[in-house]
Structures are given as C-alpha cells and as structure tokens.
C-alpha cells in the first residue's frame, strides 16, 4: 500500500491531539505513515510535535511526525492538507468581539462583523496555501477547519483550482442531541439538513425509519441550541437550529449580555490555551490535559477522518460538509457554498439535492449568503466599498450609519493583517 501522508497547517493548534487520537482509532482505514506539522509559531510547533510524539508512544502507535515552517515541503506528497489556522491569533479575535459592541452589534468569532474580519484576514492566507497546493501537489485535498469555514471554502473554490471542503463538528450536534434526549443509539439518528456554516437547521428528524413525534420534537426543543434559544422559537419553526442562531433570534439580549460580561470569549480562550500549552510543554505529559475540554469544538476529528476515509478508500459516505452546491439548492448561484449532506468518495464531493428549503428561514439564509459572497469578494479585492456593502447586507448590521464607522475602526485595528485595504482613503 502506498504511503499515506497528511500535512497539518496550523499544527500548533490545541485541537491537533484530538486528530492524533482519531488517527490511531482508525489506523486500519487510514494507515498514516507521516504527519507533516506546519506552523508559523516555531515554539508552539515544537511543543505540539513533542507532545504528539509522546501521545503516540503511549497509544502504542507509530507515525512519523516532522515539524517545519516550510509549507511547500510539508504539502509535497501529502494526500490531504488539513488547515486549522488562526490569522492574528486570539488577540485579533478579542478585537473582533469588542469593537462591534461599541456600535450595538454583537461581536463574535464567526458571526456578524467579527466573523467578517476573521474571514478578511484568513482568506488571503488560505489562497496562498491553495496556490502552493496547485503548484506542488494539485491532486491533494484541502480539508479545512479554520473559521469561518464556509466562507474560506467559497474563496478557495472561486479563486483557485485547489480541491477543498470546509468542515465543522456542528453538523453532529443534532445527532448527539437526539441520542441523548430520546435515549437512542446515535447511529439510528437521521435528519435532513440545510443552511450555511454556523447558520444551519436540522429537520424531518428520524430514529431508524420513523419520524419522531411532535411530543419528542418538543422535548428536543427544550434542550436544543445549547439552551441559548427560546424553545418557543424552535417549536414554531419546527427546525433544530445550531446555537449560533441565538445571535439572530435574541440579538438585543445577546448584545446586552456581552456588554455585561467582564471578559470576552476570546480573552477566556487565551487563558485556557495558556493552561493547555503549559501542560503540553511538560515533557512528562502524554495525555490530553483536562483543560482542553474548556476550549470547546469537540468532534473535530470525527468529521475530518470520515471525509479522508471516504476519499482515500473510495467508500461512498454521506457527510455534511461545506461545498459549492452546484444546483443542489434552488435559487442560488451554483458556486455558492452551503453546508449540506454530500456523497463523498474518491471521485469527489457531490451535494445532495434539497427538494424544499424550510420557509421559516430561507430569507435569513439568503441574506447571510449574500453577505458572505460580498465579504469574500472584498477579502480578495481589498475594495472598501464592497466590504461596506457586505456589512450593510448582514442582518445583524444593515445600517449604513453603523456600518461605515465600524468598518473604518475595524480596518484600522487590523491594518497589519489587511494590506489589501490600505491602498485608498478611508470612506
């Protein structure tokens, strides 16, 4: 059997050990010989490489780990290129969270203006990675977990020839919810699914071959969306939303709540990561530190490994991923990326047709998709007018008198990461 090599760009991420554990659990289907770790932070890179070698030794499994800052070297001969980068780190995330609050808008990592600026910083870097893949190893797949994953997938799909899919563990949340609340095995849980990354909905929920009852759905509504959305909204929609919909359905409350908090989530994550990396750096540490559970994002490896297994072994699998819908969703440009159930095998990724878009939310999804496409264009062109239009199109902003000064302040706060926007005067 040929050598299976995986490159991990942004390997200094605290999530990398979860992938290592997953690879060991699926060693028969994914017999990885080499992991090429890449990161621009050499300290984090060496810490993570050392910890993962100790973790593999404890698990009794042999995989060669190389650590390098040479991205093109790592990509060479890799069948899969996993990307989990955070341009600007958590320091910029904190600004993404704080600045919008000054204007009465939620500041959040992937939703609203914060998510837009994370995309503006990250898209140019992702396109550089895609260019390297095109030139060095065009047959490989980019498996992206960096946020906002749907927008990054759309940028790479529209502006390069590299093969990419965007992943998120959020698509697993309805399965976990139903299994827990209705006390059924997770493998028996099925549902239809529609939306964008962090703006999606599960519906027509089934256990085995039967649709769940209204009484069962109402029980799910009481526990859905991290408990952050009023169950009455969920019962009225008859859809199970991801928790990020709290920022749309309870926007005033969420803004006030964020203003009252002593710390943003980004500041909290900075403290958690310091604790986690102190553990990783301990040369006697060979187990994942408990503090990582505070970081969130569980399920990372399950989706990534499922996609890689389907492609590598040419096994038809239906997995929810972010991919250009190519006609699967009526009324949207074919290149628009949606988070959809898709058949995946060695031949590619084929989204399944959505026969009917849920009427309660199609307008909201359309508005956010419009914003996303404008924001992707702005990231590539550095056009401030397009960036302003993107903010005005976003349902959480939608006000020129708010969007204009907020855009200018956030651009200035990100000046060192957004050189493409500083070739013209501020609006």
pLDDT tens digit sequence for 381-395: 999 999 999 999 999
pTM of the model: 0.96
Cross-strand pairs, 281: none
User: Strand, helix or coil at 144?
Assistant: strand
pLDDT of residue 66: 98
- Residues 1-42: pLDDT tens digits? 468 999 999 999 999 999 999 999 999 999 999 999 999 999
> For strand 163-166 and strand 199-207, is the pairing parallel, antiparallel, or unpaired?
unpaired
DSSP state string for 217-229:
HHHHHHH-GGG-S
Number of Cβ within 10 Å of residue 267's Cβ equals: 17
What are the E-state strand segments in 2-98? 4-9, 32-38, 64-68, 80-83
Per-residue pLDDT band for 301 (boundaries 50, 70, 90) equals confident
**Residue 5 neighbours by CB under 8 Å, 6+ apart:** 32, 33, 34, 35, 36, 77, 78, 79
Is the pLDDT confidence value at 410 over 60? yes
pLDDT of residue 358: 95
pLDDT of residue 293: 82
pLDDT of residue 268: 95
In angstroms, the CA 187 to CA 306 distance is 14
Instruction: Read off the pLDDT of each residue in 360-378 and give the average, rounded to a whole number.
Output: 98
State the average pLDDT for the chain: 96
Contact 198, 170 (CB under 8 A): yes
Q: DSSP state, 358?
A: -
Contact 249, 239 (CB under 8 A): no
% of the chain with per-residue pLDDT over 90: 95
In angstroms, the CA 165 to CA 360 distance is 27
Q: DSSP state, 295?
A: G
Domain annotation for the chain: domains and CATH numbers = 4-166 (3.40.50.720)
Active site annotation includes 244: yes
- Residues 310-335: pLDDT tens digits? 999 999 999 999 999 999 999 999 99
pLDDT of residue 426: 45
In angstroms, what CA-CA distances link 45 with 49, 123, 213, 291, 326? 6, 22, 50, 19, 38
- Residues 145-170: pLDDT tens digits? 999 999 999 999 999 999 999 999 99
Per-residue pLDDT band for 297 (boundaries 50, 70, 90) equals low
Instruction: Read off the pLDDT of each residue in 258-272 and give the average, rounded to a whole number.
Output: 95
Is the pLDDT confidence value at 404 over 90? yes
- In the chain, what's the furthest Cα-to-Cα distance? 61
Q: What angle do CA 311, 314, 319 make, to 5 degrees?
A: 55
- Residues 73-104: pLDDT tens digits? 999 999 999 999 999 999 999 999 999 999 99
Contact 156, 97 (CB under 8 A): no
Burial class (CB in 10 A: 0-12, 13-18, 19+), 415: exposed
Determine which one of 145, 193, 244, 300 is catalytic: 244
Instruction: Read off the pLDDT of each residue in 253-277 and give the average, rounded to a whole number.
Output: 96
Is the pLDDT confidence value at 209 over 90? yes
In angstroms, the CA 80 to CA 197 distance is 22
Residue written as token pair 């409350």: 253
Instruction: Read off the pLDDT of each residue in 217-243 and give the average, rounded to a whole number.
Output: 97
């Amino acid at each position: 059997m040929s050598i299976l090599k995986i490159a991990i760009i942004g390997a200094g991420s605290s999530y990398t050990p979860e992938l290592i554990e997953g690879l060991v659990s699926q060693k028969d289907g994914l017999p990885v010989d080499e992991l090429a770790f890449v990161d621009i932070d050499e300290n984090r890179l060496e810490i993570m490489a050392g910890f993962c070698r100790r973790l593999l030794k404890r698990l009794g499994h042999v995989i060669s780990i190389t650590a390098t800052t040479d991205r093109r070297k790592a990509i060479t001969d890799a069948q899969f290129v996993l990307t989990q980068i955070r341009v600007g780190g958590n320091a910029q995330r904190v600004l993404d969270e704080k600045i919008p609050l000054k204007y009465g808008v939620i500041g959040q990592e992937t939703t609203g203006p914060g998510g837009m600026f994370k995309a503006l910083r990250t898209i140019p870097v992702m396109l550089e990675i895609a260019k390297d893949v095109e030139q060095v190893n065009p047959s490989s797949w980019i498996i992206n977990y960096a946020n906002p994953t749907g927008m990054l997938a759309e940028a790479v799909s529209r502006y390069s020839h590299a093969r990419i899919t965007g992943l998120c563990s959020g698509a697993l949340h309805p399965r976990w919810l139903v299994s827990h609340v209705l006390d059924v095995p997770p493998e028996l849980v099925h549902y239809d699914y529609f939306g964008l990354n962090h703006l999606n909905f599960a519906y027509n929920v089934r256990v085995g071959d039967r649709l769940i009852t209204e009484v069962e759905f109402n029980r799910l509504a009481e526990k859905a969306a991290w408990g952050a959305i009023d169950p009455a909204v969920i019962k009225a929609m008859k859809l199970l939303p991801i928790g990020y919909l709290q920022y749309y359905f309870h926007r005033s409350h969420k803004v006030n709540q964020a203003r009252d908090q002593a710390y943003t989530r980004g500041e909290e994550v900075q403290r958690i990561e310091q604790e986690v990396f102190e553990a990783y750096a301990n040369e006697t540490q060979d187990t994942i530190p408990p503090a990582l559970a505070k970081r969130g994002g569980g399920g990372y490896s399950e989706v990534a490994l499922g996609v890689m297994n389907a492609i590598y072994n040419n096994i038809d699998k239906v997995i929810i991923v972010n991919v250009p819908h190519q006609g699967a969703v009526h009324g949207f440009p074919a290149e628009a990326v949606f988070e959809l159930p898709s058949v995946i095998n060695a031949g590619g990724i084929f989204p399944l047709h959505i026969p009917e878009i849920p009427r309660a939310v199609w307008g909201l999804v359309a508005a956010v998709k419009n914003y996303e496409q404008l924001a992707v264009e702005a990231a590539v062109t550095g056009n401030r007018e397009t960036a302003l239009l993107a903010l005005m199109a976003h349902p959480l902003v939608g006000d020129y008198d708010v969007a204009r000064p907020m855009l200018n302040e956030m651009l200035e706060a990100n000046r060192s990461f957004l050189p493409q926007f500083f070739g013209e005067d501020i609006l």
